[in-house]
Structure 1
Amino acid sequence: MLSGTFSARAYSFFDTLVWIACLNLLWIAFTVLGLGVLGAGPATAAAQILVRKRAAGDAAPLLRGFAAEYFRNFGRANALSLPVMAVVAALVLNWNYFSGGHGIFPQLMAVVLLVAGAFVAGAFCYVFPMYARYELPLPQYLLMSSRFAVRHLAGTVILLFVSAAVLYGSSCLPGLIPLFSMGAWLYLTGWLCDRFFTANDQAVEQVEPVGQVVPQGAST
């Protein structure tokens, strides 16, 4: 019995690793297909939709499912991701400018921008998992993910820790980038967010049926 249980767990673990590696390659390929900037959003949306399906036990074909979700969500995902990219670019450019300055004001601004960047990163971790789970007007995803990041700080810290760990691991072992890095980040953050949203929905149903933090819409 123990041997059978160990074998099943080992098979599940390595099956998940292979799935993550394939997800990583698909994300890179479809991002390149969209010329980078226009491909990253739809590829991330497709990946998070498939991560949620896998978390629910739906063994959908990965390549066919990824391609279908990528093209189905191409316009909406870009409308969601491009403003976020613009904000991130503005924060990075301004931080680079102020961090190289001398005096109290430039250094203070650099710290403020660093804190703002951490908040944006935390909120962004929720955006596409939320997109994969709920049907909302596009501006609501950005608003609700920001609110969720603030109201569920423990979860946000966990997501930031996972993101930092993946980034650190990729910087130490660059060979992970084409094989696992993005796929691992998408899988871990998507799986965690799905658990956070489920817990939030259950708490809202028990306490306050109306005016919940995250609307309970239909799945994408």
Structure 2
Amino acid sequence: MLSGTFSARAYSFFDTLAWIAGLNLLWIVFTLMGGGILGAGPATAAAQILVRKRARGEAAPLVRGFAAGYTRNFGRANILALPVMAVSVALALNWNYFSAGRGLFAQLMAAGIFVAAIFLAGAACYVFPLYARYELPLRQYLLTSSRFAVRHLAGTVILLFVTAAAAYASAALPGLIPFFSIGAWLFLTGWLCDRFFTANDESVAEALAVEPDGRAALQGASTA
């Protein structure tokens, strides 16, 4: 019995590693197909859709599913991704400028920009998992991700830690990037976000209890 359980777990582990490696390769290939800037958003959307399906135990062909998700969401995903990229570039340029200054004002500005960048990174981690799970107007995804990041700080800290760990591992071992780094980050953040959203939905459903005066009260932040 123990041997069978161990074999099943080992098979599941290595199957997941192979799946992550395939996801990593597909993300790079399809991002390059879109010229980098225009390919990253659709590739991320396609990846998170597949991660959500895998998290739910749904069998989906990796290559065909990725290609379909990339094509189907090309325009909408770019509308989501390009503003985030533009703000990220602006924050990076401004931080480089002010961090080089020696005055108090420059250092305060650099610190403020750094805090804003951390907030942006936390909110950005939710955007495409949210997109993969819920049907919302496009303008609502960024707003809802920002609100969720603030109201669920523990989850946001976990996502930032995963992001920092992936970035550190990639910097220390660049050879991981073509094989695992991006795919592992996409898988872990997508899997975690799916759990966070599920817990939030359950909490909201419980909060929709009828009060004594007959009105329903919604407590917490619903992402649906």
Give the TM-score normalised by the residue count of structure 1: 0.96
Q: CA offset at residue 10 of structure 1?
A: 0.5
Q: Which amino acid aligns with 2:189?
A: T
The structure 1 segments of at least 4 consecutive aligned residues displaced by more than 6 Å after TM superposition are none
Q: Which amino acid aligns with 1:128?
A: F
Q: Which amino acid aligns with 2:221?
A: V
Report the 3-state secondary structure (helix = DSSP H, G, I; strand = E; otherwise coil) of the residue aligned with 2:221. coil
Matched with 2:28 is 28
Question: What is the CA deviation profile of residues 119-139 of structure 1, one whole-angstrom value per residue up to 9, with x for unaligned ones?
Answer: 000000000000000000011
Question: What is the CA deviation profile of residues 171-215 of structure 1, one whole-angstrom value per residue up to 9, with x for unaligned ones?
Answer: 111000000010000000000000000000000000137576234
Q: Distance in 2 between matches of 1:55 and 1:18?
A: 15
Q: Distance in 1 between matches of 2:90 and 2:203?
A: 37
Matched with 2:114 is 114
Matched with 1:9 is 9
Report the 3-state secondary structure (helix = DSSP H, G, I; strand = E; otherwise coil) of the residue aligned with 2:15. helix
Contact 2:30–2:43 (CA<8 Å) still a contact in 1? Answer: yes
Q: Distance in 1 between matches of 2:96 and 2:15?
A: 42
Distance change (3 Å), C-alpha of 1:38 and 1:142: same
1:214 is the counterpart of 2:222:
yes
Q: Distance in 2 between matches of 1:79 and 1:73?
A: 10
Structure 2, unmatched stretches of 5+, are 209-216
Matched with 2:187 is 187
Q: Which amino acid aligns with 2:16?
A: T
1:131 is the counterpart of 2:131:
yes
Q: Distance in 2 between matches of 1:212 and 1:81?
A: 27
Q: Which amino acid aligns with 2:155?
A: G
Q: CA offset at residue 105 of structure 1?
A: 0.6
Matched with 2:211 is none
Q: Distance in 2 between matches of 1:179 and 1:154?
A: 29
Matched with 2:63 is 63
Matched with 2:145 is 145
Matched with 2:213 is none
Q: CA offset at residue 103 of structure 1?
A: 1.1
Q: Which amino acid aligns with 2:9?
A: R
Q: Distance in 2 between matches of 1:59 and 1:13?
A: 16
Report the 3-state secondary structure (helix = DSSP H, G, I; strand = E; otherwise coil) of the residue aligned with 2:167. helix
Q: Distance in 2 between matches of 1:84 and 1:178?
A: 24
Matched with 2:102 is 102
Matched with 2:42 is 42
Q: Distance in 2 between matches of 1:119 and 1:26?
A: 28
Q: Distance in 2 between matches of 1:67 and 1:31?
A: 11
Question: What is the CA deviation profile of residues 69-100 of structure 1, one whole-angstrom value per residue up to 9, with x for unaligned ones?
Answer: 00000000000100010100000000000001
Matched with 2:201 is 201
Q: Which amino acid aligns with 1:140?
A: Q
Q: Distance in 1 between matches of 2:39 and 2:96?
A: 26
Q: Distance in 1 between matches of 2:221 and 2:77?
A: 22
Identity, % of aligned pairs?
75
Q: Which amino acid aligns with 1:156?
A: T
Q: CA RMSD in A?
A: 1.0
Aligned pair count? 216
Q: Distance in 1 between matches of 2:220 and 2:64?
A: 35
Contact 2:48–2:128 (CA<8 Å) still a contact in 1? Answer: yes
Contact 2:207–2:219 (CA<8 Å) still a contact in 1? Answer: no
